Structure 1
Amino acid sequence: MAVNNLYNIATLIKRLEAVASRLEDVASSTASLGLHPGEADIVRDIATVLAPISTNPPEPQRQFSGAALARPPEDLPVDVTLFDTFVQTGIDPFLELSQKIGGVVAEQATLLKKGFDAQRRILLIISQAKKPHGDKAAEKAYGNLLQPIEDVISSIRRIQQENRGTSAFNMLSTVADGSFALTWTAVESRPWKQAEESLTMAHFFGNKVLKEHPRGSLEAQWVETFYALFTELASFLREAYPYGITWNSQGDALGSVVTRDAA
Structure 2
Amino acid sequence: MSQSEKLDSLIKRLEAVTVRLENVQATGGSVASSAQSSSSSSQSSSAEASSKEVVSYNEYLEASLKPFLDISKEIGGDLTELATLVETSFTEVGKLINIASKSKKPSDQEITNLFKPISELFQKITQYKDARRGSDYYNHLFSVDEGIKCLQWPLVPNTPAPFVKEMVNSAEFYTNKVLVAYRSKDPKQVDWVNKFKTAVNDLSAYVKEYHTTGLKWNPSGGDAKSAAASSASAPSSSSSSSTPAPKPSTSAPSSGGAPAKNDLFAAINAKRDNAAGGLNKVTNDQKTKNRKEEDRVSVVPGELAKKGVATKTTGKKQKGPEKFELSRGGIEKWCVENFDNKTDLVISETSNKQGVYILNCTNCVITIKGKVNIIIIDSCQKTGVILDDAVSSVEMVNSQGIKVQVNGNVPTVNVDKTDGVQIFLSKSALGANIITSKSSEMNVCVPDGDDYTEIPIPEQYQSKWDSSTKKVVTEVVTLNM
TM, length-normalised to structure 1: 0.70
Q: Which runs of 5+ in 1 are unaligned?
A: 1-55, 134-138
- Paired position in structure 2 for 1:127: 101
What is the SS of the residue equivalent to 1:72? Answer: helix
Normalized per residue, the structure richer in helix is: 1
Query: Is 1:250 matched with 2:220?
Result: yes
Residues 58-115 of structure 1 show CA distances to partners (whole Å, capped at 9, x for unaligned) of: 9797674x56476127937111001001100111000000001112112112111111
- Paired position in structure 2 for 1:91: 65
What is the SS of the residue equivalent to 1:145? Answer: helix
Of residues 82, 87, 92, the one that matches 1:118 is: 92
Q: Is contact 2:210–2:216 with CA below 8 Å preserved after alignment?
A: no
- Paired position in structure 2 for 1:226: 196
Of residues 110, 113, 116, the one that matches 1:144 is: 113
CA distance in 1, matches of 2:70, 2:230: 33
CA distance in 2, matches of 1:69, 1:208: 43
Query: Is 1:260 matched with 2:234?
Result: no
Deviation for aligned residue 1:142: 2.5
Q: CA RMSD in A?
A: 2.5
Deviation for aligned residue 1:131: 1.1
Of residues 90, 106, 109, the one that matches 2:83 is: 109
Q: Specify the structure having the higher radius of gyration (Cα).
A: 2
> In the superposition, relative to structure 1, how do residues 69 and 230 fare at CA in structure 2: closer, same or farther (>3 Å)?
farther
> In the superposition, relative to structure 1, how do residues 70 and 152 fare at CA in structure 2: closer, same or farther (>3 Å)?
farther
- Paired position in structure 2 for 1:161: 130
Deviation for aligned residue 1:180: 0.6
Which structure would you say has the larger RCO, counting Cα contacts within 8 Å and 6 or more residues apart?
Answer: 1
> In the superposition, relative to structure 1, how do residues 261 and 241 fare at CA in structure 2: closer, same or farther (>3 Å)?
same
> In the superposition, relative to structure 1, how do residues 72 and 256 fare at CA in structure 2: closer, same or farther (>3 Å)?
closer
Q: Which moved more, 1:253-262 or 1:177-186?
A: 253-262
> In the superposition, relative to structure 1, how do residues 79 and 67 fare at CA in structure 2: closer, same or farther (>3 Å)?
closer
CA distance in 1, matches of 2:31, 2:114: 21
- Paired position in structure 2 for 1:72: 34
CA distance in 2, matches of 1:166, 1:116: 24
Q: Is contact 2:82–2:125 with CA below 8 Å preserved after alignment?
A: yes
Q: Is contact 2:139–2:175 with CA below 8 Å preserved after alignment?
A: yes
Q: Is contact 2:102–2:222 with CA below 8 Å preserved after alignment?
A: yes
> In the superposition, relative to structure 1, how do residues 67 and 102 fare at CA in structure 2: closer, same or farther (>3 Å)?
farther
Q: Is contact 1:67–1:88 with CA below 8 Å preserved after alignment?
A: no
TM, length-normalised to structure 2: 0.39
Q: Is contact 1:210–1:219 with CA below 8 Å preserved after alignment?
A: yes
CA distance in 1, matches of 2:173, 2:31: 35
Deviation for aligned residue 1:250: 1.2
Residues 23-82 of structure 1 show CA distances to partners (whole Å, capped at 9, x for unaligned) of: xxxxxxxxxxxxxxxxxxxxxxxxxxxxxxxxx9x9797674x56476127937111001
> In the superposition, relative to structure 1, how do residues 69 and 210 fare at CA in structure 2: closer, same or farther (>3 Å)?
farther
Q: Is contact 1:190–1:241 with CA below 8 Å preserved after alignment?
A: no
CA distance in 2, matches of 1:70, 1:202: 37
> In the superposition, relative to structure 1, how do residues 224 and 69 fare at CA in structure 2: closer, same or farther (>3 Å)?
farther
> In the superposition, relative to structure 1, how do residues 70 and 210 fare at CA in structure 2: closer, same or farther (>3 Å)?
farther
What is the SS of the residue equivalent to 2:170? Answer: helix
CA distance in 1, matches of 2:29, 2:178: 31
Residues 115-152 of structure 1 show CA distances to partners (whole Å, capped at 9, x for unaligned) of: 1100111011111111125xxxxx54432210111111
Q: Is contact 1:104–1:159 with CA below 8 Å preserved after alignment?
A: no
Deviation for aligned residue 1:256: 2.1
CA distance in 2, matches of 1:187, 1:69: 32
Q: Which runs of 5+ in 2 are unaligned?
A: 1-16, 42-50, 234-481
Q: Is contact 1:125–1:257 with CA below 8 Å preserved after alignment?
A: yes
Residues 143-199 of structure 1 show CA distances to partners (whole Å, capped at 9, x for unaligned) of: 221011111111111111111133211111110110110111111211112211211
Of residues 184, 189, 203, the one that matches 2:172 is: 203
Of residues 182, 190, 213, the one that matches 2:182 is: 213
**Count of residues in correspondence between the two structures:** 202
Percentage of matched positions with identical amino acids: 26
